[in-house]
Copies of this chain bind each other. A is one copy, B any other.
Amino acid sequence: MERVRVGFVGLGQRGKGMLDTFLAVPDVDVVAVCDVYADRVDSIASTIKEKRGMEARKYTDFNLLLEDKELDAIYIATSWEAHIDQAIMCMKKGIPCAMEVAGAYSIKDCWRLVKAYEKTKTPIMMMENCCYDKFELLCTALARKGVFGEIVYCHGAYTHDLRKEILGGNVNRHYRLRNYIARNCENYPTHELGPIAKILNINRGNRMVYVSSVASKSKGLSEYAKSDACEDKTLKDVTFKQGDVVSTNIICENGETITMTLNTSLPAHYSREIQVKGTKGCADMDTNMVLEDGSIDESHWNPAEFNKIYFGNAEKYYEEYLPSFWKNITQEEISLGHGGMDIFLVRAFIECLKNGEEMPIDVYDAAAWYSITPLSEKSIKHHGKPYKIPDFTRGKYKNRPSKDVIKL
């Protein structure tokens, strides 16, 4: 494979944003673009023409994109509802695909995804960019080097005030709007769960066995919809099912627990709140802190006083533990999406594809991480009842060796 010819499906905010990222990888051409909205297709095709002087083939029907014989891969950035079906269709056509983050709508869909892969062996990567972010990779490296001792617990969150984006759904055609009206679940688990699952070797010697979730009442969106801040006045009397804060507990087979918080319809600043706790040390994203046993000044009863002193002390671990691409990141890489992680993610996909290597985030990871959504939905309906998480590897996890998203 000399050049990698990529087709894009889903040209909303994410698809549009990732165009530059894919085009920044040498030998990648985006040769076909597809969306149900023709204006998006035209717009992104024009951008490609401007940047590369190439005429991308334009589709509004995904089935026709699949018939395009000149594709080496498809990047799926459509609505959450479409990901799994489209990924399966790609695999059945033998077209490798890169599937964006989301949660599933049923456990059956997760199994369909796994079975399609096992039948076709068509490469598929789940595009969890946060697996490539700086703090997450620092924690992974620290975990591998034993700095945390035996890890017993991890926490993560998706705290992101999306009220404006969600309630702009009728204008910006964002699928979040209908989801927040119709569902109540951990609807976006992978940004935090992905990196944590990698740290804990989920599907590789370990697996997630139980999940339980509770949801707070839903007040953020309805209050915002009634306020002057909301431009779409048709939403003022809409009822939203999605609770403002969803709290999820996961138990792993090797005894670790994971907690996750979804918080997307309240005023807040963005954070994934990554925390790792082990017998020898711990790390915390919000304070950019790594603490090792024996080096913790115990005289502080006020956590803010303590945190003021230790804030940012993770920096001193960067030189020794960060992967080289984070140490040597360029301004251009930073500009290619989410502070740098997007370009590392896309490079990993393209490199594995070109070299015929195993994808760093594979179909079993995708199925396990996506499965939290439908299970959380059931759990919330039953006041936090725990549900079993299927073993999508059907026992293979026991002997699959640990594999990080990059060599650490």
**Interface size class of chain A, counting residues whose CB lies under 8 Å from the partner chain:** 35 or more
Is the CB of A291 closer than 8 A to any CB of chain B? yes
Say yes or no: B286 contacts A256, CB within 8 Å: no
Known A216-B255, A301-B339; 20 more pairs at CB < 8 Å: A152-B216, A152-B244, A153-B247, A210-B383, A212-B214, A215-B257, A217-B255, A220-B279, A224-B279, A245-B257, A269-B291, A269-B296, A269-B307, A270-B298, A271-B306, A286-B286, A286-B304, A304-B311, A308-B312, A384-B386
Is the CB of A169 closer than 8 A to any CB of chain B? no
Say yes or no: A285 contacts B269, CB within 8 Å: no
Interface residues of A in 380-398 (CB under 8 A from B): 382-386
In the bound complex, CA of A245 to CA of B254 (Å): 14
Stretch from A26-34, A85-93, A259-267 at the B interface? A259-267
- Residues on B with C-beta less than 8 A from A382 are 386
Given A269-B296, A269-B303, A339-B301, A254 contacting B217 (CB threshold 8 A): yes
- Residues on B with C-beta less than 8 A from A280 are 267
For the complex formed by this chain, how many copies does it contain in all? 2
Is the CB of A122 closer than 8 A to any CB of chain B? no
Say yes or no: B386 contacts A383, CB within 8 Å: yes
27 A/B residue pairs, CB under 8 Å, sorted by A: A152-B216, A152-B217, A152-B219, A152-B244, A209-B383, A214-B257, A216-B255, A216-B256, A217-B256, A219-B279, A243-B257, A244-B277, A245-B257, A245-B277, A247-B249, A266-B277, A267-B280, A267-B281, A267-B293, A269-B296, A285-B304, A286-B286, A287-B304, A288-B304, A302-B339, A383-B386, A385-B386
- Residues on B with C-beta less than 8 A from A245 are 152-153, 257, 277
In the bound complex, CA of A224 to CA of B385 (Å): 34
What mask results when residues 155 to 183 of chain A are scored 1 for a CB within 8 Å of chain B, else 0? 00000010000000000000000000000
Closest to A312 in B: B304
Given A257-B247, A339-B302, A296 contacting B273 (CB threshold 8 A): no
Is the CB of A12 closer than 8 A to any CB of chain B? no
Interface residues of A in 191-211 (CB under 8 A from B): 209-210
For A249, give its contact among B212, B254, B310 (CB under 8 Å). B212
In the bound complex, CA of A149 to CA of B149 (Å): 42
Say yes or no: B287 contacts A269, CB within 8 Å: no
Is the CB of A336 closer than 8 A to any CB of chain B? no
